[in-house]
Amino acid sequence: MVYTVGSTIIYTTLDGVDRKAVVDYRCNSVMKQGPGFDGRLVNNDGDDGGIWGYDHQIKRVVEY
């Protein structure tokens, strides 16, 4: 999956929920398990929206 810092992505959480997020940082190894990202949720109601995930969880890149 091709994406960069600032990309808007749709990813699936480990419990199967799809979320939309903006990528703030790309990581070579998240939790020593493989490449991934840190970011923040889009249209989040209330909390800070800070998230992380693995590249294999990304379903699509909405905005590159």
Q: Give per-residue pLDDT as tens, 1-60.
A: 799 999 999 999 989 999 999 999 999 988 888 999 999 999 766 566 789 999 999 999
Does a structural domain hold residue 21?
yes
Does a structural domain hold residue 2?
no
User: Model-level pTM?
Assistant: 0.86
* Structural domain count of the chain: 1
Does a structural domain hold residue 1?
no
Does a structural domain hold residue 43?
yes
Residue 51's beta-bridge partner residues? 39
SS3 category, 27: strand
What pLDDT does residue 1 have? 76
Does a structural domain hold residue 16?
yes
In whole angstroms, give the CA distance from residue 29 to residue 57.
Answer: 14
Does a structural domain hold residue 3?
no
Structural domain of 44:
8-63
CB 41 within 8 A of CB 49: yes
What pLDDT does residue 47 have? 61
* Token pair in block for residue 3: 């994406």
What pLDDT does residue 48 have? 66
